[in-house]
Structure 1
Amino acid sequence: MFAVPGWSLSPALLKKQADAEVTGDGASKKRKRKQVDSAEVSTRDIGDLYKQHVEKSVPKKEKAIEHSPKGNDESHTGKESKKVDGETARKVKKAADELPPVPPPAAAKLTPMQTAMRQKLIGARFRHLNQTLYTSPSAEASTLFDQNPAFFDEYHAGFRSQVESWPENPVDSFVREIQERAKVKVPYVKDKKNGGKKAVADPDTGLLPLPMTNGQCKVADLGCGDAALASKVSKLRLNVQVLSYDLAKPNKFVTKADIANLPLEDDSVNVTIFCLALMGTNWIDFIEEAWRVLHWKGELWIAEIKSRFGRVQNRRVEHSIGFKQKKRPSKQDLQRQKAQIDQIEEQELIHKVDEVPMNSEGTDVSAFVEVLRKRGFALQDETSVDLSNKMFVKMKFVKALPPLKGKMFKQDEPQRGGPMKKKNFIEKEKEEVDEPSVLKPCLYKIR
């Protein structure tokens, strides 16, 4: 200390500054600011942060989810759940991380530019999720939705916004058919070939009655989404029961299940429906499972995008007389032709999201029909393939054949029509076709 004339302070009055109180474990009791680890912030909570810091609103606390007892769980997977292996977990994490960021909640007033940018971000996330579902097996998609439940609602919200721009929703056409055929009185005639009686089409409307068991038609909507079919049919008061299955349970109509492994008994339903639902790389497993749960002579209804099927090739017939070999195209001609084909296919594959009109001429479903024939399905009649819609193909099959391959094929079961003939070299070549590639996935151009 130093002395100042007229000012003095006794050293006895000075007190030593007290140190911070330390607890027994050595930790200080000083109040510290709550620190937020930036690594914990992800695309999933951007919406909450936007509300909290920009809109100055307090986010609501989520209620704790009560898990139902094991015996009372309404969700089914057909088999006991298996542990996710490391490879599947890695693929699921990669798919979730590659998603574009979650768009912030819409404010009360947005400029036209802000609205357009927000819609583009929503569309980008929908396209990415859609492509992931098309290029992954159903088991990986199930794990993705289990670990990220919001993805299922987000995908179907984007899907519903796209449906609004379609000239017709295939679900509505299926609802109309169920309503019309459920009212058809069942006329029977003698079946001279197999004996007994069989149902025939109504002479006035030309419609066949719905297949029924004990006076009721049981329909399985596989890959139902938000169960629009079950919701609409339930309001019609028909003797029709719709069972809806998908990878998540958004409402009371849906049972959670992988449609490659349904919680249904063999020969238990009358109609199975795939409405834009053959999305996984294992879509053939879905077809085989539909054959398993259908009654004999049960019906399979399918609606799919035309661009997923092949195109009719214009083949030139080469006759032995007067045949003259054409000049081979140059490398530049081949590259130009390939670029034109790629452009056409790209426009067809993205029309579902970007509302690009598609040229529906030349859609070839023969390879797809052949895959289903080998799984025990035959086309119902000559009008079973409907190509009238410019966006979709609708087909009807009947479970009327024994499977020739797949999980339902039985080696020891006698085949109808006598012993099988020895396959020639042409049939052997046909078997080498990569069957899953018969349906093309929807792939989108990175923007």
Structure 2
Amino acid sequence: MNSTVSAPSATAGLDAWLCYLEALHPTEIDLGLSRVQQVKERLNIDPGKAQVLTVAGTNGKGSTVRYLESILRAAGYRTGAYISPHIYRYEERVRLHGALASADDFVRAFAAIEQARGDISLTYFEFGTLAAFWLLQRSELDVWILEVGLGGRLDAVNCLAADVAMVTSVGIDHIGFLGSDRNGIAAEKAGVFRAGKGAVIGEPDFPKQVLSELQTKGIEPQCVGHQFNYQQTSADHWTFTGRRSQLQALPMPQLPLPNAATALMALELLNLPVTEQAIREGLVKAAEPGRLQYVAGNPDYLLDVAHNPHAAAFLVEHLRNRFGSRPIYAVLGMLKDKDIAGTLEQLKPAVSAWYLADLEGPRGASAKELASALGEVTNQQPPLSYPCVTDAFRSACDAARESQQQPLVLVCGSFYTVAKIPNAE
């Protein structure tokens, strides 16, 4: 614990509390459940009669949470959702009955946790996770929907046992914490599963070794391609086949289709009835800022937080399916601890012009570093480089307006990159 910082007062603003949280623990990431478990017990955190859905995975967590929330709300249930990270402001991390928690809500939660933790040091994420639980518990909810921050087994969210847990995908990311092979990463993410509880795997190539290990623990996951399936049947429709349901001509959602199927399988396992009408309504309404977010204008642009090769490959497939042969002008900013070269290699076939930007902060990669990585994977003309994302975005938009080919401006590479766009023009 950093003893040189003092806790804000209970009447201090949210910004003061967030600064305090950032300085409180010696490291930003410190995986383990012992600290958060102790404080959870001191706070008497308990979902009670509410059912808990937990979503883990390399990519697709946020959109899966949004699908679950949207469908359950359409079915008339009282929902609370916890996600991370936020894009524009911290309040995005908790939604209660579909609305963002307020800054004052978070301040009250932080003050309660500060009082309860005593001399137990908490990371920024652990403090925020407990605050989310504190707020959810006081909101008279039917369902808690929780997004894992990193991994699963040792993530703070996993101090609550889920009634139904999901692993959306398994890719190589956070290798410093989860390892560099898919078996190890899949095992960490599968740590959210509990024997006798619902388990769903939306990763079509989930490691067989880990599946075998789960079965020895009494966990029988529902796997895509086996216990449930989905298929896009036209530009506007798709089908879902689960253990108990077969849904035809479902409306194509805005968010990734694989995650919609994972959500529907989880809802089959949940002990709450959901009508087909609620499913259809929820699919249509589900949208998440910064995830395949299309903005029509002059020019049109697409925001997506894809920041690893797995997510980039899915993004390229989406671009081809939705935008065909339109030129893509890519505005890119990334963190230096990501697989930059691997991500760019996936994006390369779809991109016509690159607008690379420095990303501020100690973890941010420079445009020069991005250009160096790009040079290893492409034979295109040298990319353009900019000192900030907003400058890169403006330049790409100007070039797109001058073109006769109606280019689409794509902004991707990081949550931090997408967060810069609303004030760009």
TM-score by length of 1: 0.23
Work out which structure has the larger RCO, using CA pairs closer than 8 Å and 6 or more positions apart in sequence.
2
Which one has a bigger Cα radius of gyration? 1
TM-score (norm 2): 0.24
